[in-house]
Chain A
Amino acid sequence: MPQSFTIILGKAVRYAARLRGGGSALPGLFVERISPSFVPDTLAQLPHGVVVISGTNGKTTTTKMVVSLLESQGLKVFTNRTGSNFVRGVAAALLGEIDVKGKLDADIAVLELDEAHAVKFVEVVPPHYSLLLNVMRDQLDRFGEIDTTARMLEQIARATTHTVVLNREDGRIRAIAPKLSTEVRYFGLADNLLSQFPTDDELHDEAVSKKAAKRPDADVVLKDFNEKGAAFTINKKAFVTPLKLKGVYNIFNSAAALALVRAIEPTASVNSLLGALSTVTPAFGRGETLNVGGQPLELVLVKNPSGFRLGLESYDPDGYATMIAINDNYADGRDMSWLWDVDFTKLSDNPVYVTGIRAYDMALRLQYDEVGMEKVDTELARALADFIARHDAMPKRIYCTYTAMLTLRKELSKITRVEVVS
């Protein structure tokens, strides 16, 4: 079938899917079926090639940062903003951007892909650059185990043709480096910050003695941070910048974004990159703040123990009403075991509102941490309305799993302005 015909058909399906509501991967699936070479052919036109960002935590916000940084250097960037990180999700995103001749008006593609899909993707489209953030316990029910996930990331690194950027502080990520023949660069943490980012393994190690010695040099090192900004060491020189991003993990990932963009654009001035970084806001549901009745309402996406721990670590519960919304749909992970690897005692001063399909699993977890509960209600929409009504005069924060977040955003869009993510 001629390519342009495929594209017109795909665009029509994309439009139809939009009308029907949702289904961001459906048109991509359609195009993938009738023209399997569509994605590689389209991406092959890009002068700066393809960048793949993968890992368990922080892909979406890191991708957002990388896009902003590259745009600050004058590049036109194609990205899969929907977070529909499958090959067909990429195909669907491409359909929205190309003209009918199949020409993509961009210099470079920056794609966030989850590990399993990235492996399939790089077989078809070898990336010029890849950034591997971390391997944490997440959705093991899908991939089997954490070492399997690490091997998937290794495959992504091996398929990369120019530069691989790795997290120096994640043992499983660091172990990929010796197996590569391409250039490897690192981002990392200063020794004094290591204890704030325990890996799953270290969490259970009674002797949490972070080995500060014996790590490779990193191009970008996060040296310190507070609510207002961060200090980095970049190529051994010290820099300070204000940031709009919240959460320790987002700030660490800004070091990852800087290291990646410096690999792609080696001549970019550090100050111009930091200037662009300082304007980046969190991706949707990743610490984004909405306005509800004149009070801030923060949505914090949680999907695995390390992410949840870091979220609780990052945000002070004092002065906030707290809700936790736990679903167990396929995209959230069916297994509830992960809640038992998170310490909730930080929430024990104020009662927590608990909701979601698995609200009672969460309540049970809080009971054993002796954290008080305001109410437990499995009905998300009802619980959200009640939670807002009870705390109308104070700031609110909701920790939520992925599908719970989608429902909450939909409900919230009825009463406030919620950024539309297409």
Chain B
Amino acid sequence: MSDAKKQIVIVQLYPRDMNIYGDHGNLQVLVRRLEWYGYAPKVIHYNVGNTFPKSADIVIGGGGQDSGQEKIHADLLKIGPTLKKWAEDGTPMLMVCGLYQLFGHFFRTLNNVSLEGIGVLDVETYGTNERLIGNIVTTSDAFGEIIGYENHSGQTFLGEHVKPFATVVRGAGNNSKDGHEGAIYKNVIGTYLHGSILPKNPAVADFLIKTAVKRKYHAFSKDLIDDMFADMARTIARERPR
């Protein structure tokens, strides 16, 4: 590694209003793994009203209360076109729960009120009275088994321009019908998995990191990270009651 460490800029969307459920863990995992791989992570916490950064190597966002979603909504629509352009260009992103929904076309409540999304992902979400809640195990060709915890009453349906992030093995996922979880478009991942998702699923964390590093610096670190605790935590979580 050269003297000046290579910088990777992570933009965290709305940590003040969309931070429920340990989504902070996702940021921490990206920061630490980048450090362990020998890079210099720089984190920009973007909140409502801040100046939106000119560029980013990774963008992440979490879930929130309904009240949090309302607070950030107008601001998100403003930065939406920039996020959409970045997504088209291949910037890796991870959007969990509330921001996954708002990265879609819309969230329609039970009272038929529509909250417009930014349309990065070709998905639609409908509010329901049914809460999909509990431990969830899914599987994907790209990432293997993905394990987490879901808690949402919005049900998301996928359009033809996105692929499911994973297939549900145990749990609910996007909705109570389709048997798949999350959505992926280019390098943008939308998911309902908390837990947090990245600590227990290092393959997903490394996908975001490697994609970002390769886009910016082409080659990727040869360093290895010991994921024994993640493996053990996964083994236990897989067997826990819903």
Contact = CB atoms under 8 A, between A and B. Distances in A.
B230 A147 contact: no
Given A140-B151, A360-B232, A363-B232, A340 B16 contact: no
Contacts of A365: 25, 199
Interface string B1-41: 00000000000000110011111110011001000000000
A337 B237 contact: no
A146 B151 CA distance: 13
Interface in B225-242: 229-230, 232-233, 235-237, 240-242
A262 to B, nearest CB: 33
Contacts of A145: 20, 65-66
Contacts of B216: none
Interface stretch (B76-84, B109-117, B129-137, B174-182): B129-137
Contact of A328 (B66, B232, B240): B240
Contact of A367 (B67, B229, B241, B242): B229
Contacts of B196: 337, 340
A334 B131 contact: no
B61 interface: no
B195 interface: yes
Interface stretch (A97-105, A184-192, A200-208, A225-233): A200-208
A335 B199 contact: no
B194 interface: yes
Interface in A330-382: 334-341, 357-358, 360-361, 363-365, 367-368, 370, 376, 378
Contacts of B22: 305, 336-341
A398 to B, nearest CB: 20
B29 A368 contact: yes
B149 A334 contact: yes
Contact of A206 (B45, B153, B230, B235): B45
B200 interface: yes
Given A360-B232, A364-B229, A364-B230, A140 B20 contact: yes
B211 interface: no
A335 B42 CA distance: 29
Contacts of A204: 15-16, 19, 24
Contacts of B139: none
Nearest to B29: A368
Contacts of B230: 364
Contacts of B24: 204, 340-341
A144 interface: yes
Given A337-B196, A340-B22, A357-B236, A146 B65 contact: yes
Interface string B111-147: 0000000000000000000010111000000000000
A205 B16 contact: yes
Contact of A201 (B16, B199, B232): B16
A147 B199 contact: no
Interface in A199-231: 200-201, 203-206
Contact of A340 (B28, B66, B229, B236): B28
Given A140-B151, A368-B29, A334 B240 contact: yes
| Residue among B151, B200, B242 with most chain A CB within 10 A | B151
Contacts of B199: 340, 364-365, 368
A137 interface: yes
A365 B233 CA distance: 10
Given A337-B196, A340-B22, A144 B236 contact: no
B12 to A, nearest CB: 10
Contacts of A147: 65-67
A202 to B, nearest CB: 9
Nearest to B196: A340
B131 A144 contact: yes
Given A340-B199, A368-B29, A378 B236 contact: yes
B229 A146 contact: no
B132 to A, nearest CB: 11
Contacts of B20: 137, 140, 145-146
A361 B235 CA distance: 10
A141 B29 contact: no
A18 to B, nearest CB: 29
Nearest to A365: B199
B63 to A, nearest CB: 9
A4 to B, nearest CB: 42
| Residue among A147, A328, A357, A361 with most chain B CB within 10 A | A361
Nearest to A201: B16
| Residue among A203, A340, A367 with most chain B CB within 10 A | A340
B215 to A, nearest CB: 24
A361 B32 contact: no
| Residue among A201, A341, A360 with most chain B CB within 10 A | A360
Given A137-B20, A361-B200, 13 more contacts: A144-B131, A144-B151, A146-B65, A200-B19, A201-B16, A336-B195, A337-B21, A337-B196, A340-B28, A360-B235, A363-B232, A363-B233, A364-B233
15 contacts: A146-B65, A147-B67, A200-B19, A203-B19, A205-B15, A305-B22, A334-B135, A335-B194, A337-B23, A339-B22, A339-B25, A360-B233, A364-B199, A368-B25, A376-B229
